[in-house]
Every structure is written in C-alpha cells, then in structure tokens.
Structure 1
Amino acid sequence: MKYFGFLIGLVFSFASFGQIPYYNNNYSIWEESNVLVGTANNYCNRPVEIRVNIYKPVADNNTKRPVVIFVPGGAFVSTADQNQGQMNEMAQALAKRGYVAVTADYREGVHLYPYNTGYPEVLNGGFINPFADYASLYATDNDEVYRAVYRARQDLSSIIQFIKARNLQDSSSTCKFFISGHSAGAITCLATVFMDLPSERPSAANAIAPATNPSWTNKCIWELFGTCLLWQVNGPQGKDDAAYITQNPTPFNFDAPNCYQRPDLGPMKGVLYINNNYDSKVLGIAAMCGAVDSLSFINNQTNNPAIWMYHQPADIVVPFGTGKPFNSLNGFYNPAPNSNWPVLNGSGVIENYLNANNYPAAHRLWAYSGNGNTLLTHDLLPSTTVLADSIARFFGQVMDTASLCFPDSGPLPIGFNFYVTKLQGSAKLVWETNSIDMLKFEVERSSDGVQFSSIASVDFVTGETNYSYNDTYYFKHGITYYRIKELRVNSGFNYSRVQKISNSENLITHIYPIPAKDFVKVNLNLSGNTTHIEIGLFDAVGRMVWSKIIGANTSETNIPVNKLSGGLYLLKLTINGSQNEIHKIIVQ
C-alpha cells in the first residue's frame, strides 16, 4: 500500500552517510544518572521529583554538542520515567554519535470518574481481562486529560531550559536542540512545539471545579436474606485505589479532599525549573506514534522545527488517522475507557496537513507497515536501533542546513550577506563577501530544505566582493531553498544561511464540481519543459486511492470518485518527481 508522504525507511538519503553530521557511531559514552530537575505537584497535589539521565560522548573534543531529549510513553498514567528501557537505548545510540542525549521523566496520572455501583464493568472474559492495567484510563472528564498533557508539556519545557542552562557543563549547544518521544511522549513533544502561544493555553489548565473521589464498588450478583453470596467477577472495587496508589504511594493520603482540588497549573514554560535566559525552542522533533488534538495550532507557529514522524497505520493505541486512543479496548469494558478522552489526529493526518499548508520546514513520515501482529502495532518496529539510525540521519541533515544555528556552530564568513529574489522568470541569488582566501562558490538548491544538491559553481575573483547567479529552473510552484557553499584555499568551507523563495503559481487552475459525487474534473496549466507528471488522490490517513500519469500538454483530466466513501480527500500534483501542489476536495 502506498502512503502519502515520504516513506524513509532505510533509504532516507542518497548522500553517503559519512557526509551527514553526527551520524556515525564514533564514541564511547558515559552516563550521569537521575539528575534532579525540580519538584512540582502532580494531579493529586502531591509533590514529585522529576529527574533525567544524561548520556555524553567521550573524547569528541566538541564544545557545541547537539542535544536530544527522549520522552517515554505510558498514556499519561503509567510509572514510566527517565529509566524506561527503549528511550535509554535510543539515547545511548545518539550519544555514541556525538549528542548529549537525555531521557526524561514527567508528571503522570489523572483523576478517575465516579461511576455507579458495578461500573466500569468487564465484558467478554472477566476472569482473564487485565482490568487493573486499564482502570487508570477512566479520566473523570475531558479537562482531566488536557491537564495531564499540559503538565507533561510544562515538564518537558522546563527540562529543555534546564539542559540548555547546563551547556558549559555538558559542552552542548543551546540551539542544536531536538526532542523525541513515543506514544504519550510523542504527544508531549508535539504539544511542546505546536502549543507555543499564550492563546493556545487550554482552558482546562486554569483552576477548575474539584474532581470527585471515584470510590468504585462492586455489585452483588446473588443476594440471599440480605447477604451477598456472589459478587461481580473482576469488578471495579479497589481498582481505582490501585490506580491512585501507583502515582501516590503510602504514606500519601489520596482520599483526602486536597487530592481532588484542581488549581491553576501555572505558566506554559513550566514550574519545575525556570531560567529566563533560555527558551524551550527546538530545531527538530521525532514523534513516534504521536498525535495532536488541534491541527490549527500548526498554523500559528513562532518557531517551525523540522518534523520526523514514525507510525504504523494499523496502530491500535494512538490512531494513525483521526479517532480516540485505545479504541481497541472498547469491546472489553462498559463504559469504554476512552469515554472522556478527546479525538486525536495521528501522524498520517498531520503529514497531510503539513503538505497541504506548505509547512516551511523539513518533515518526513515513516508509515511502517508492521509485521502483521496486531498486538505489536504500537511498538517501535523493526527495532529501536533502526529507528535511532533514521532519527540520527534526519537530525544530522537538519543541522547540515539549519541557518538558525550558524552563530552557534561557528561564525559565518565576515561580511557574508546572501539573499534571493524572483526576477523575470528566474531566481536571482546575490551574495557579498569580504573573504580573501576563497577558491570558488557552489550554489546549492533544495526542494525541502534538507537535501541540497549543487547546481552551479562560481569562481572567486580576487578583489571582487559581489557575486550573483540566476536560476531559471527554480521550482515554479511551492518553495525553493538555496544556500551558498564557500570553498577555501585550505580545503575548508563555510555555508551561507539558507534562503528561500515561494511561488504561488497554480498549475491546477480549476477543480469542479465540489462537493463531488461521480467524478472530479481538473483543469491544468502545465509548462512544456515538464517530463514526468503524476496526479494522485489521497484519503484522510494518507492512502493513495487513485493516481494517473499525464502528459505535459494535458489541459484537463477526470478523476472517478463514485466508488469512494464520502469525506475529505487531498489531490496532489507531482512534477518531475519533486514539485508538489495540493488541493482539498470533498466527496459526497
């Protein structure tokens, strides 16, 4: 099955791996364990300590190491912390490549809903169903879930500031910063990146009405003369207490009224650790089996990090498309554990949205097909080693092109100015340099801001400070990225900052009828120099449902939709393998 997006797998780049920064396993590592970040109250108003593990390379002689923070999953209700096995495996794999790699803890737990006697009840095999494992998912209301995500986002924001403040101690960068997580950890990473404006702070983070002590009780199945002879099998009684004591161990009294107060949760930047000299911005994220509730936050970014995503389309825990988490449990319990959880948009929907809205930074989706075992669709397959390899490759390419961190990774050549404009059907690149030890300049171009290729070479002329180049083959639709590589006499080189131009010329000029029932007619305005043109239709989770190769002289084509289910679809036009134009259509 073909998925809309880039299925990077093991062949992410055509560049040799040796050219990607921080990709090869070069170093032994050492660990600084259980480092205290700070203390904050959990959902039951119990103070908890949040700690991290920090892995560093040995003898790399680098004072500006990149940083990656790994965040474990656990549905926001587990006991997973900075010692979670898979996140530590991946952190060690990145530290061996030269990163300061951190594994993080965060506050977890939610208040549970006070059901009537006998509920929640187990269906379909009460003796063997592990009800105790899932009891903690029964959030008392929708606000409680948002509060859990917000606390996790606060903690990750504080941890980012904390690690940035340790830059001298860890010989680390304060700019080349990345975050990664699995499941709830991935949701936390996405929330940290996309929920970055005060207006996006959820109302649930304000002081709200107290929760109610759930006090779950069993129901009597068979009563005789006022005495119950048979109680409900695997009933709810005590399961709520077990969930509370997991996050609030003895001697803390989780039955006390203070536990159920829900005060204001504080600022978005967190309450664990606050250092106003550092922010919580990152250069990129790697979200494994992640999701967001609101896609609109993506449009309101003050910072646009690169985004790498991994997800199995058949995931039974966090939806790849749109839906509530944990739907696979609904047939085993009444009511469903996710009754009060919000609808989420998974990685497939996020990737489609990024494409449709021309997200300005690099983004990739690895839609892994899995191994056929339904129970493993939420696991990190084929292995944490392979996933760490792909993440390192993507982050390395991001650093290779990131203009934001050039002051951090070494100054630009003195007086090097570079900009790009559109002029009479071409992209005009102009740069100025005061350098005197140059051989030549290479002009590099990219369609995604990650993978660049050289398109021209301009000789250095002694005494000349101003240079230019006209690119008549810039991408006539979408965004074209450029950078200048300055080659020195001593075999060294420097990169300019990355510049881009955007072209809004529509190759698809008209789509009708909308909404469509039997067919969609598409009018096109194509240029004669195109050699390979593909038009495809994709559903809401990124599956290609129709495609066609068309000729350069095609002015109109029809798309049959009479056999498709009603809903939103994306129409994608690909020119010469790289230029993308995307439109939304609605099928009745």
Structure 2
Amino acid sequence: MENGSSNKGGKNSFVYNSPPASITDSPVGNYSSNANTAMISSQEFDLTEAKAAMLSYHTLWDIERRYDFIQVLASVDQGQQWVPLMGKYTSLSSNPLVMGQPVYQGSNLEWVKEEINLNRFTGQKLKIKFVLKSNQFINKDGFYFDDFSVQIIDKSTGINPSEQNNRILYTIFPNPAKDAVHISIGHSITTQSIEVSLYDIFGKLFLRQVFPNSIHRIDLNLANLPSGLYFISIEAAGEPVIWQKLLVLH
C-alpha cells in the first residue's frame, strides 16, 4: 500500500493478526483531528479473465461513531473515481460526507475476517484504497488491517490461479532477516521462469529479479535495505504464488 494523504499510515509491530506487523492509519498513538489518511494499493489487480473475485483481509478498528469513518473503495480507472465497497462488517453511514454509504464506524476490538464480493468488477483491472476521515473532536486508535488478499476464479478453468500456484512448496527464511533472505522452492516450476519482487508497506518497489524455473533456492541481498517491514511477491506465469510479509532488522 502506498500512502495517499498528508497523514501517514504505516506498520504496527505490536498489533497484528499474523506476525510480524499489520498496516494501520496511525502507527503511533491515536489518529489526529481532521485526519484524511488514504492507503492505496500500488498493485493493480487484473480481473479481466476472472469469473469471480473476492477481497479479504483481517481487521479491527476503534473510531468515533457517526463523526469519524473508514471506507474501503475500488477504482477501475487508475484512481480517477472510487466506489465504496460493502463488507460483512460495514454499516451505512449517517455522516453527511458519506450519507448512506458503507463505512466502518464505532469499535470492533477483536480481529475479524472481512470478505467483499468483487464480481461486479470482473472484466476490468482494479485498485483498492482504505481511507480514514475524522473531525476535530474525539481521536481514537484507528484502523488496522492484515492478511490482505484478492482471490480470483479464472473463467476458463474455474480454478483460482494463486491456489494452483501455491502447490509449489516454498520456504522463506529467516524472518525477521538481517542482511539476506533465502527462498527455498520444493520442486521445479512448470512455467519458464519465476519473478521475485520486494515492496515496502507503501508499495514502493525495492527489488525485482527473474529466475529460471529450474532453480531450487534464491538468495536475496538485503544489506542495503533500510530496516522495516516489506512484502515479498513471487509470481509464476504472471500469477501470484505468494505475497508474504518480511521484517528486515539491521
């Protein structure tokens, strides 16, 4: 995710559903008055060949009811227009800014798995954005999300490509890592090559390398990377095999 406002979201290594960290609008303390924080996916999700698609993530939140709100939105035109999405845990807002739109509001202090149907966006490419807006009065802890995933059912096969590729056995170690991280692949991949990318939490690309399908171990040099939370993306034939958090500590 890349930050889209003057209020900077980021990682929280103390509150998470799966280690080592979650993403939050306010990493240190409560969100500010008149906050307008947007975290936008740097990745564009390709649903052009999708039969069906589902967005899922784990989330918890604590915000002022009615006056402050969180929305998750989708765009099919590179962020020119955004459509609010309704999930299992959203409710319709009475805030004049987003009257009648689905939002997260109030408090939910236990991790829940949110699922949002994306079928109306099939045949298109999609970006996702999380937004928190507050007024000038009560400030609370804010919004956390973790384990973000878009699951796609392919038109031709009816199989989720990421599930198919996940049959490839892999291990990423150590995690946390210091100067290097190693990716062990259990068997040869049937595609011609695999692509490994490394992003920070705002979607900035730090590394991208392509390897032959015969490789069984990949070693990535992290010595020049700043300490922090990153995401390793592994793709085969253009489809995601894994998207995993990696903590770098020097």
Cα distance, 1:7–1:269 mapped onto 2, change above 3 Å:
closer
Question: Which residue is 2:139 aligned to?
Answer: 340
Cα distance in 2 for residues equivalent to 1:587 and 1:535: 17
Cα distance in 2 for residues equivalent to 1:582 and 1:557: 16
Structure 1 residue 573, shift from structure 2 partner: 0.9
Cα distance in 1 for residues equivalent to 2:235 and 2:45: 16
Structure whose CA Rg is larger? 1
Structure 1 residue 527, shift from structure 2 partner: 2.7
Structure 1 residue 295, shift from structure 2 partner: 11
Map 1:67-216 → 2, pairs under 5 A: 145-149=64-68, 189-190=84-85, 192-195=86-89
TM score, norm. by length of structure 2? 0.51
Tell me which of 559, 564, 570 is aligned to 2:225. 564
Question: Which residue is 1:6 aligned to?
Answer: 44
Cα distance, 1:528–1:505 mapped onto 2, change above 3 Å:
closer
User: Is 1:523 aligned with 2:184?
Assistant: yes
Map 1:456-475 → 2, pairs under 5 A: none
Cα distance in 2 for residues equivalent to 1:559 and 1:574: 16
Cα distance in 1 for residues equivalent to 2:45 and 2:223: 29
Structure 1 residue 148, shift from structure 2 partner: 2.6
TM score, norm. by length of structure 1? 0.25
Contact 1:194 1:298 in 2 (8 A): no
The letter of the residue matching 1:505 is: R
Contact 2:43 2:127 in 1 (8 A): no
Gaps of 5+ in 2: 3-40, 51-61, 76-81, 95-99
Gaps of 5+ in 1: 16-141, 154-177, 181-185, 197-267, 272-279, 312-317, 327-335, 361-447, 456-470, 480-501
Structure 1 residue 538, shift from structure 2 partner: 1.4
Cα distance in 1 for residues equivalent to 2:199 and 2:44: 14
Question: Which residue is 1:299 aligned to?
Answer: 113
Tell me the number of residue pairs that the alignment of Structure 1 and Structure 2 aligns. 181
Contact 1:519 1:561 in 2 (8 A): yes
Contact 1:511 1:522 in 2 (8 A): yes
Question: Which residue is 1:537 aligned to?
Answer: 198
* 1:177-230, Cα deviation, whole Å (9 max, x unpaired): x999xxxxx79x45x41415xxxxxxxxxxxxxxxxxxxxxxxxxxxxxxxxxx
How many percent of aligned residue pairs carry the same amino acid? Answer: 17
* 1:470-509, Cα deviation, whole Å (9 max, x unpaired): x9xx67x733xxxxxxxxxxxxxxxxxxxxxx7753432x
Question: Which residue is 1:505 aligned to?
Answer: 167
Structure 1 residue 564, shift from structure 2 partner: 2.2
Cα distance in 2 for residues equivalent to 1:530 and 1:300: 33
> Larger RCO: Structure 1 or Structure 2 (Cα < 8 Å, ≥ 6 residues apart)?
2
Aligned to 1:299, the other structure's residue is in SS state strand
Cα distance in 2 for residues equivalent to 1:296 and 1:4: 28
Cα distance in 2 for residues equivalent to 1:309 and 1:294: 26
Instruction: Give 1 or 2: higher helix fraction.
Output: 1
Cα distance in 2 for residues equivalent to 1:194 and 1:309: 20
Aligned to 2:190, the other structure's residue is in SS state coil
Cα distance in 1 for residues equivalent to 2:228 and 2:203: 13
Structure 1 residue 518, shift from structure 2 partner: 0.8
Aligned to 2:207, the other structure's residue is in SS state strand
Structure 1 residue 554, shift from structure 2 partner: 0.8
Aligned to 1:193, the other structure's residue is in SS state coil
Contact 1:4 1:544 in 2 (8 A): no
Cα distance, 1:569–1:528 mapped onto 2, change above 3 Å:
closer
Contact 2:188 2:215 in 1 (8 A): no
Cα distance, 1:505–1:565 mapped onto 2, change above 3 Å:
same
* 1:284-307, Cα deviation, whole Å (9 max, x unpaired): x9x9xx9xx989866254x64457
* 1:521-571, Cα deviation, whole Å (9 max, x unpaired): 111124352213101111112222111100111111111222223222211
Cα distance in 2 for residues equivalent to 1:507 and 1:4: 27
